[in-house]
A and B are shown apart, each in its own frame.
Chain A
């Protein structure tokens, strides 16, 4: 009887915690269905008009398009750079290695605000300040520590004797990389891509500075909207955001098993 009570209490705590975390999202979701043009809770009448507005509003469409471009570019660039650095850091010793690691992870300790302004000033000097390039560049700097970490962890778990065995069997260094190292690095690389994509898509603080009218990403577009209008289209957009991400993660879990991909669960 005592055990049952304890486990019930444990479960209750977990449920309450999760509920606390999800509560803002739930409130927003409910608000999105409000008929009225005010953000009010609880809503008086229900309607889907704000979803329609969210999906058809030109700035949101452009914002989504920009965010996707930036996200894809960021994911690819950061995984290539982060993956390569992770490999070098894992396999080689050289002078200044610690310094390198610190510099690569420095965006963790510098406020994104500062990074944003910094890149804005820098790219203005060279005329790149209204392009996608500056946004991708900034996002890569921001997500790099996470990508680096996740690839590095997966590399550490890679038994180097596998590579020696492959070499002994006749695989050239390039063949070892392609047939052994990279395939076994995929969990880390994939997790890195995921991190990079999600962080980039949601990125706001630095993006505010480096995006221009034509290149503004979705979070920036939403911010600009909210400064002028106080209607629930924001809420509707958030719900779409939320649902899309969830669907994506569910699909990934079904096809790849997110637990294994993120190296949380042991590969059986």
Chain B
């Protein structure tokens, strides 16, 4: 009963609710067997898009294709999508086995086949002993697995997960992320995963669509999104990052000098191609790409040590600087003895890996 999962193509889809546009024109493709994450804050349109792929919402305009077949007008019960909801939505009046069998029953599959498929999936989700339990007798993580099993057993064109892990505690979440990835890889099902948790998206997805306000801001692999954010929103949404307000000062050969309120930053000129002196811009630097210079004088950016936050494997250092967003820069140090060398209140010089810095003109913001 295994079948190659579908390629899902979203073609110029728009969704409007009255005067409000929940999703601006969006076109993207999810390759068969791949894992796509839709990431963004509340209201960005990710759940809207997911629901349209499922068929629970109709696009205002545009089309959706499964393997080249237009399914836009097809009702959800004929689309064969497996959906996993945030609250699992397990049928409380049915046992685990009955929940799993439901989709196949609706497809009128032969009883013997249903039984063997249910047993197979029970092994995949590692709940063979729980077949006759009711959902209320299971823990959150177990219910999650049943929800996933129920969705994949019908061999869906695509598996859709709507923030399925947000109800779980941190450890369980991490375990479930691994399990989901494992099941998905083993069964090769095209998967779309909606989440607002960027670390989850980064760790699970083959490709990641970062969304805000109804638009896809960047669609790329997690590595590319983290290392080469396309705009200010993506840069600040993923991971911790420091943002500095700056103004273009001069071009000098291969470099551009950007002036901050009390210092300056020099970056390769490709970082802000086509810029002219006087242009306002934002400089984004990851905390792991900022370091403390041996002396204050040699640094082009300085700041006052505000707070150390011990994180076990590293220390987060917050440094006050007037050009930084909310007045604070963030550094990540592996040297846990830093607090003694540069105590709170002391003035320090900051260096940065210029190649890793991201600069965006202020028009690009949102």
Contacts and interface: CB of A to CB of B under 8 A. Distances in A.
A180 B85 CA distance: 17
B106 A170 contact: yes
A175 B55 CA distance: 17
Contacts of A179: 102
A168 to B, nearest CB: 4
Contact of B93 (A165, A171, A183): A183
A16 interface: no
Contact of A170 (B54, B80, B85, B136): B80
Given A172-B77, A175-B106, A268-B136, A166 B54 contact: no
Contacts of B81: 168
Interface stretch (A118-126, A156-164, A233-241): A156-164
Contacts of A183: 93
B89 interface: yes
Given A167-B77, A168-B77, A168-B83, A162 B106 contact: no
A145 to B, nearest CB: 28
B62 interface: no
Nearest to A172: B77
B83 A165 contact: yes
A267 interface: yes
B80 A180 contact: no
B218 to A, nearest CB: 29
A267 B80 CA distance: 32
A212 interface: no
A170 B89 contact: no
A205 to B, nearest CB: 39
A184 interface: yes
Given A164-B56, A164-B83, A169 B89 contact: no
Nearest to A171: B106
A161 B87 contact: yes
Nearest to B81: A168
Q: Which of A162, A167, A169, A175 has the most CB of B within 10 A?
A: A169
B202 to A, nearest CB: 27
B103 interface: yes
B92 interface: yes
21 contacts: A161-B87, A161-B89, A162-B89, A165-B91, A166-B102, A166-B106, A167-B56, A168-B77, A168-B81, A168-B82, A169-B77, A169-B82, A169-B103, A169-B106, A170-B103, A170-B106, A171-B106, A172-B77, A172-B106, A175-B77, A179-B102
Interface of A: 159, 161-162, 164-173, 175-176, 179-180, 183-184, 267-268
3 shortest A-B CB distances, which residue pairs?
A: A169-B103, A170-B106, A165-B89
